[in-house]
Chains A and B, each alone.
Chain A
């Protein structure tokens, strides 16, 4: 291992173990910092996992409460984000099971799930329109694919987790993760292409 890689790995380990120690103490300042640090990544993951912004907001708060309560279970051996996504995912599944006894797949069958509204940025006018169109297309395509594929696709391509990390979060074998990614991306490509053609024709 070269020096840079050694320091990188050691730095990551020490940060993870510092977080683990802070979580065992239930340090509120550490939790404030973690909420700030992971706010967008966690929220985006929950929005795409549930397909519902309001529900994602509720689950966002509940996830951090659970992090506070079960922080002692984080061992600091993996990245904190991997553990955080696993907590959020389990909480979402628990919530949906309580609401009605369904699997993660069934979330896509809910007619009420509209694609989440992207936030407007402020570049050039034509760029705004194009960005907005692209964002709406990809959001709609993402919501339309089965939840277990969406889960893998979002974790891999939006949140940048490795295949092994996704396997840890979803508690699935590596082969299943690979197959979900492949199927999810294939469906997304097909629906994104279909959506683009429709928009151009319109």
Chain B
């Protein structure tokens, strides 16, 4: 009998289940005539039974702490989602109002420039400033506020 046959038998023993009836029969026949593999099968069975009876368990303090932490984190994620929804809606509102108001403002600036007697380049720069400055201020404010929220959240999350 070659070494491969023993290896094959031991592989089947290690897999425990999931092999065919023919393989099972072959394994039984092999175990009947091979004391070494039979001993391995018994030892493997003892190991598996010991593994299944290992009494390692999570303690209730850990479980409660985890549940609290998960609930807290879920609330934070919900808040963030609500805030993002509000920001999204605000962006949509700003976009719609901008697309409606830009042509009117453009005409208003053109008319004011004509009345004041300045060149078109001057009133166009004035229009660009009016258009860009509020967006820059809002962007900077959101960035500062976003950093503040992240740092605050991190501090609270560590229980």
| A interface residues, Cβ below 8 angstroms from B | 26, 28, 31-32, 35-36, 39-40, 42-44, 47, 57, 60-61, 64-65, 68-69, 116, 118-121, 131, 134-135, 137-139, 141-142, 153-154, 156-158, 162-163, 178, 181-182, 184-186, 188-189, 192-193
Residues of A within 8 A of B44 (CB): 185, 189
Contact A61 B14 (CB under 8 A): no
Q: Does B56 contact A (CB under 8 A)?
A: yes
Supply 14 A–B pairs (Cβ within 8 Å), ascending by A.
A31-B67, A31-B71, A35-B67, A43-B56, A44-B56, A57-B62, A61-B62, A69-B73, A119-B55, A119-B57, A135-B53, A154-B51, A157-B52, A158-B54
Contact B69 A182 (CB under 8 A): no
Residues of A within 8 A of B50 (CB): 134-135, 137-138, 192
Contact B47 A189 (CB under 8 A): yes
Contact A43 B18 (CB under 8 A): no
Q: Does B63 contact A (CB under 8 A)?
A: yes
- Picked from B14, B51, B53, B55, the residue with its CB within 8 Å of the CB of A182 is B14
| B interface residues, Cβ below 8 angstroms from A | 10-11, 13-16, 18, 40, 43-44, 46-48, 50-58, 62-63, 65-67, 69-71, 73-74, 77-78
Query: What DSSP secondary structure best describes chain A's contact surface?
Result: helix
Residues of B within 8 A of A142 (CB): 51
Contact B40 A189 (CB under 8 A): yes
Q: Rank and list the top 5 A-B pairs by shortest CB-CB distance, nearest first.
A: A43-B58, A182-B14, A138-B50, A185-B14, A39-B58
Contact A118 B54 (CB under 8 A): yes
- Picked from A32, A158, A162, A189, the residue with its CB within 8 Å of the CB of B43 is A189
CA–CA, A170 to B47, complex, Å? 23
- Picked from A26, A32, A44, A184, the residue with its CB within 8 Å of the CB of B78 is A26
Contact B74 A43 (CB under 8 A): no
Given contacts A181-B14, A182-B14, contact A36 B63 (CB under 8 A): yes
Known: A181-B15, A186-B10. 15 other contacts (CB 8 A): A26-B74, A28-B70, A28-B71, A31-B67, A39-B58, A61-B69, A69-B73, A131-B53, A135-B54, A138-B54, A158-B51, A163-B15, A184-B14, A192-B46, A192-B47
CA–CA, A178 to B69, complex, Å? 38
Contact A157 B51 (CB under 8 A): yes
CA–CA, A158 to B55, complex, Å? 11
CA–CA, A189 to B37, complex, Å? 12
Contact A61 B65 (CB under 8 A): yes
